[in-house]
Amino acid sequence: MFFMTTSATETAGERVQGVPLAEFRDVNLRYDGSSESTLALEHLDLDVHRGEMLAVVGMSGCGKSSLLKLISGLVMPTSGSVKIHGKSVTRPLGIVGMAFQKASLLPWRTTLQNLLLPTEVGSARRNGKGNGEAVARARDLLATVGLTDAENKLPKELSGGMQQRVSLCRAVIHQPELLLLDEPFGALDAFTREELWGVLQRLREETGCTVVLITHDLTESVFLADRVAVMSPRPGRIVYEAAVPFARPRHLDQRYESDFTRIAADLRHHISKPQEVLP
């Protein structure tokens, strides 16, 4: 294993206890700051615990991506507070890795070169211990996601699922403490998406990082997450949270078990009731 951000002696339950890694308190967000602009988020309260995978679900336009922008420091709240390790977020954070629905690999760079890109710029480069270590870490990641034989291929030679594997690896190559995923599997076919659920499980187990996953897929959220938060239609608020009690690793057959389908149905029920707000 190439790195861990939590103690190897901690259990999953111990990792999610104590002071939250990230805290949203009474957060409101208007993108231009004026009282006449659309309110994207309103009175949003949420904790993200160290070592957990949190999925956030809700209808399109409810503010899920805005939540990621706030936690990463790409935008600031209009009011309320967003804190990481108890300190207010005032700028983009170097402890964050991000992956999106589109892999966005540079077409002239090989798989390995695309994967190494975050280690070549900014604070990641200053904090590195040399190109040799970064290459070794990149090859470990490629082995984890089954792409050892693809390191010299260009993006045009890779399938959509393979490109997304590279994107996930690129998001963790600089050893982030917090991994933010915005619909990373949304553009893929069902079979490829299910395959990448297993890839993400392995990456999370190997890295130990905290994950916030934005998704429209309730099955995906229950399969991957330790906890699922439901957002109301805009202005977005957290209206319901559900713990997912299944042990890891999880297997695709679990999707058809009664406990699994009950949690997914419960989430769907609360998405359809935006008037409910957590007390």
Instruction: Say which CATH superfamily domain 56-74+93-271 falls into.
Output: P-loop containing nucleotide triphosphate hydrolases (3.40.50.300)
Q: pLDDT digits over 90-148, tens only?
A: 999 889 999 999 999 999 999 999 999 998 875 445 444 457 889 999 999 999 999 99
Q: How many CB atoms lie within 10 A of CB 142?
A: 20
Q: Tell me, what's the pLDDT at 64?
A: 92
Mean pLDDT by 10 residues, the chain (279 residues): 32 52 95 74 95 94 92 94 94 92 94 93 52 90 94 96 95 93 92 94 91 96 97 92 94 95 95 58
Q: SS3 of 69, please?
A: helix
C-alpha distances (whole Å) from 77 to each of 3, 30, 117, 167 are: 33, 8, 30, 28
Mean pLDDT of the chain: 87
CA pair distance 150, 139, nearest whole angstrom:
10
Tokens representing residue 18 in the block: 């104590």
Kindly report, residue by residue over 115-126, the tens digit of the pLDDT: 999 988 754 454
Phi, psi of 145 (to 5 degrees): -100, 10
C-alpha span between 252 and 129 (Å, rounded): 39
Residue 139 phi/psi, 5° resolution? -70, -35
